[in-house]
Amino acid sequence: MPALKNLLLPVDYSDRSLTAAEHARFIAKQCGSQVTVLHVKEPRTDEDDGQAARRAAVANLLLKDLDVTSVELPGHPADVIVQYAREHSYDLIVMPTRGHSALRLFLLGSVTAKVLHDTETPVWTGVHNEQEAGAPLTEVRHVVCAVDLGLQSETVLRWAGDFAQRLGARLTVVHASAQLVPTFGVVHDPEFRAHLAELMSAQLADLLRKTVIAAETRLASGEPARAVVEVARESKSDVLVIGRTPPGLMGRLRATAYAIIRQSHCPVISV
């Protein structure tokens, strides 16, 4: 995992930008990071009094004891954020999501979703459901890392392991599978499910040995997004680390990752 020396904080000076700024400040204080505040000004948009006040609040929050640079650029927000992060090799992008209305609880903000689809930089997103946002993040004691046992699992686990170690947090690695749920047919056979569980546990153990990372492991049964979120909630995790698919024509954010970010009770880092 990179040392998190350079954080990119895109802001639109909404209320949720303040929460993202608090998270960026927490990470920067823990890791000694430099923070770039990026505001993308779309054509024919004017700043209102509320935005001006929140701009000042973000500045006041971040400027205390931190190394901060402010940048303002024109263009489409998601495109500018992705390009700017690529050109300057940031270690982490810290962004809010949108979840104010009943409808938006089922949708990520279009800018955040596009950034998650397009960028190769890890992205920190805050709690999507504002009713669960809770108290400000002041410490990270427990990190949960979800792996699908695919090609990206080693990369995701190494990132999560280094992150947890850097913050002095314990780490739990979880793999969720619908195949562990009793259903009609072959998977209804308890012996077959037990065999699958043994195979998955062995794969998790091999993954930990390969990465030389010490962590608890969990198998969760059910639809993966829901099962991962339930494990993270039950274990009172402070941060959830997940993987995205490798860059390609279809983007990096798939349905499972999207659902986890939308439902998680804690911030999610998408690697």
**171 shares its domain with 202:** yes
CB atoms within 10 A of CB 108: 22
**151 shares its domain with 121:** no
| Residue 271 to residue 260: CA distance in whole angstroms | 13
The answer to the question of residue 34 being in a domain is: yes
**186 shares its domain with 247:** yes
**89 shares its domain with 170:** no
Whether the Cβ atoms of residue 3 and residue 162 lie closer than 8 Å to each other: no
The two structure tokens encoding residue 247: 């860059």
The answer to the question of residue 73 being in a domain is: yes
CA angle 158, 159, 160 (to 5 degrees): 95
**238 shares its domain with 121:** no
The pLDDT, as a whole number, for residue 68 is 93
**159 shares its domain with 114:** no
The pLDDT, as a whole number, for residue 110 is 82
Question: Can you give the pLDDT of all 271 residues of the chain as single tens digits?
Answer: 568 999 999 998 887 888 899 999 999 999 999 999 999 987 766 666 677 787 888 888 787 789 999 999 999 999 999 999 999 999 999 998 864 444 344 456 789 989 999 999 999 999 987 666 666 889 999 999 999 999 899 999 999 999 999 999 999 999 999 989 887 665 567 888 899 999 999 999 999 999 999 999 999 999 999 999 999 999 999 999 999 987 764 567 788 999 999 999 999 999 9
The answer to the question of residue 132 being in a domain is: no
**21 shares its domain with 89:** yes
Per the structure, how many domains does the chain have?
2
Q: Looking at 127, 161, 178, which one is the last position of a domain?
A: 127
Which phi and psi (to 5°) does residue 195 adopt? Answer: -65, -45
The pLDDT, as a whole number, for residue 30 is 93
**151 shares its domain with 117:** no
**CB-neighbour burial class of residue 46 (10 A; exposed 0-12, middle 13-18, buried 19+):** exposed
Query: Which residue has tokens 């954010």?
Result: 253
Q: Looking at 79, 104, 127, which one is the last position of a domain?
A: 127
**201 shares its domain with 122:** no
**188 shares its domain with 115:** no
Which phi and psi (to 5°) does residue 241 adopt? Answer: -105, 130
- Residue type at position 122: P
The pLDDT, as a whole number, for residue 62 is 81
> What CATH number is associated with residue 106?
3.40.50.620
Going edge to edge, which strands form the sheet with 170-177?
A: 67-74, 34-41, 6-10, 92-95, 123-125, 268-270, 239-242, 142-146, 170-177, 216-221
Own/partner long-range contacts of 82-87 (Cβ < 8 Å, ≥24 apart): 82/114, 82/115, 82/118, 82/119, 84/8, 84/38, 85/8, 85/119, 85/121, 86/119, 86/120, 86/121
The pLDDT, as a whole number, for residue 246 is 79
The answer to the question of residue 136 being in a domain is: no
**74 shares its domain with 172:** no
**197 shares its domain with 90:** no
Q: Looking at 103, 127, 151, which one is the last position of a domain?
A: 127
Please give the full DSSP string across 75-141, using - where no structure is assigned.
S-HHHHHHHHHHHHT-SEEEE-----STTGGG---HHHHHHHHH--S-EEE--SSGGG--SPP----
The answer to the question of residue 134 being in a domain is: no
Q: Which domain holds residue 14?
A: 6-127
- Residue type at position 148: D
